[in-house]
Chain A
Amino acid sequence: MDDEAIIERYWQRDETAIQETQRKYYAYCSTIAYNILSSFEDTEECVADTWLKAWDAIPPARPDHFKSFLGRITHNLAVDRYRANRRCKSCGLTEVLQELEITSLDDPEAEIQRMAFKGVVSRFLRGLDPQTRRVFVLRYWYYEPLKTISRETGIREATVNSMLYRTRKKLKTYLTKEGWNP
């Protein structure tokens, strides 16, 4: 079933919309949650919550891109759960935070500033070559393990690692130029 038809079912409050969503996007959403939480139980709960959030949001929402709409919900729920757990040394997200040299995941400062930097990061990413951008997003939004990124992109794991290192450095330089002051 295509996404528009599924969304239409949400608008008609037809419960099969959720079943169709689960059938089509369980793999996608559960991967995002598992990459962050590294727990099957938490992943299951996050994904079940994703369907309910979608049910609550549509209507009034009519997402243009249903897949990324769901992915973002799962992503946000999983990050919330990760922060609530506060002890998951072996979670995928912990490894990513270490790479980004982030010791604690505090709330972002002023919302306005956060939104300003949202645009900056997206601009930075658009300036990268497509392959580097893809590797960077797979690692720092999907939290895919290096091995998976290597498999998906056909780039050797060591090369993925060095691409990420160089791009992190570039991002920090870019953000500093844009007024970021750590």
Chain B
Amino acid sequence: MKNSDIFWALYDMDDDLIREAKEAPMMKTNNVHPVRIMLIAAAVVVLLAGTALAISELWAPKLAALFGADEKQQELLDVGFVQNIGVSDSDNGVTITAEQLIGDANGVYILYSIKADDPKLLSAWTFPHYKLTLDGESRGKGCRDWADPGNLHDVEQRRDADGTLYFYDLLMTDPGESFSGKQAYVHVDYIDDMATDQDIFPVIWEGDIELSWEINYVPSEVRTYEIHQNVVWNDSTIQIESANISSIGITLTCSGIPTVTNDVEGLGNVVSIRDEYREIAGALSSPVSITLSNGTICEMDRNHLGGTKRYDDNGDVEFVTLFAGQIFREEAYPVSLCYELDGETFTVELK
């Protein structure tokens, strides 16, 4: 046997052992010694002070971290690029604030924070359930997505030392659309905790929180490249027609992405979830590396990448957007994307 066979032996572990591990009662965690709490608090104060000095006031630290924008890079970008929203509402011991918004021609990221009067209420896996409308219209399928890159993967980083949680929403524009001048309205009615060991997510807060503001930002400029490159995958030919690059992300316009269907009838919403499964689209939003015009090769991993897909009226994938967790600048723009798909490597040149 090979070393990797240990993995497969563990993989085949008996069911009762798997069950037993999760069914054992939760234990109380050890109390932390008061001196340790004081030392931790002191360290947190030092860290917070350092962060405040390092990040300019223009970008919220969480947003800057999401896009990997240090102070110098933020200065290079258009001031109108970020909208400071600062709209809050409170109910039943919870305050939610729409903090900031950043956008390009393809969409906007909105950063929210949540604070609770009882800091124990919120965990790193707390998620609010909310509806968002723009000028009274809800954003439909494929136009709205949870932001998935960077810090959101590391749940610890979603939470500040004072217990404030952050979450992002990615709102994609339709082609040629701008959100500037539109009235955003967010209604949050409950929060649940998606922490691990429950069978059903408990609702930890219910109430009515309403946020409303006018969206106002200057979209980051974009460069568009005609590509017309074909990628063959599982006997399907996918055309990458063009790439649209802004300071914060790359959007590929695609066609021919196969729709995975299934023949199970009557599964209602589950089928719609399955219909959105398009592995190739997921792969296109996750390059292995991005080469910049100054020769730098940025190796990507899941801690840096975020992506989403947009669908046309037929439900086919039309655009794939990826966020690399870093700012692209004039002197260092992406010139190629390198992918691995089923063990094969291919490159999309953006020239």
**Which residues of A lie under 8 Å from residue B342 when comparing CB positions?**
84
Among B5, B15, B266, the residue within 8 A (CB) of A117 is B5
Q: Is A51 within 8 A of B2, CB to CB?
A: no
Q: Is the interface of B mostly helix, strand, loop or mixed?
A: loop
Q: A27-B198, A51-B270, A118-B9 are in contact. Are A90 and B4 (CB under 8 A)?
A: no
Chain B residues, CB < 8 A from A56 = 264
A106–B7 Cα distance when bound, in Å, is: 10
A101 within 8 A of B: yes
Determine if B6 and A102 form an interchain contact, defined as CB atoms under 8 angstroms apart.
yes
The answer to whether A100 and B7 have CB atoms under 8 Å apart is yes
1-54 of chain B: CB within 8 A of chain A = 1-22, 24, 26-30
B232 contacts the other chain (Cβ, under 8 Å)?
Answer: no
- Cα-based distance from A25 to B19 in the complex (angstroms): 14
Give the residue name and chain of the B residue nearest to A42 (CB): B282
B199 touches A71 (CB 8 A): no
**A173 within 8 A of partner (CB):** no
Q: Which residue of A lies closest to B341 (CB)?
A: A84
Name the contact of B1 in the complex, choosing from A48, A100, A180 (C-beta under 8 A): A180
Q: Does B249 contact A (CB under 8 A)?
A: no
Q: Is the CB of A117 within 8 A of B17?
A: no
Which of B77-85, B146-154, B214-222, B223-231 is found at the contact surface with chain A?
B146-154
Q: Which residue of B lies closest to A46 (CB)?
A: B277
A113 vs chain B, min Cβ distance (A): 6
B313 interface residue, CB < 8 Å from A? no
By a CB distance below 8 angstroms, the chain A residues around B274 are 48-49, 52
A-B pairs with lowest CB-CB distance, top 6: A154-B27, A118-B12, A137-B21, A108-B8, A48-B273, A117-B9
Chain B residues near A (Cβ < 8 Å): 1-22, 24, 26-30, 146, 148, 152-153, 194-201, 262, 264, 266-270, 273-274, 276-277, 279, 282, 286, 288, 301-303, 307, 340, 342-343
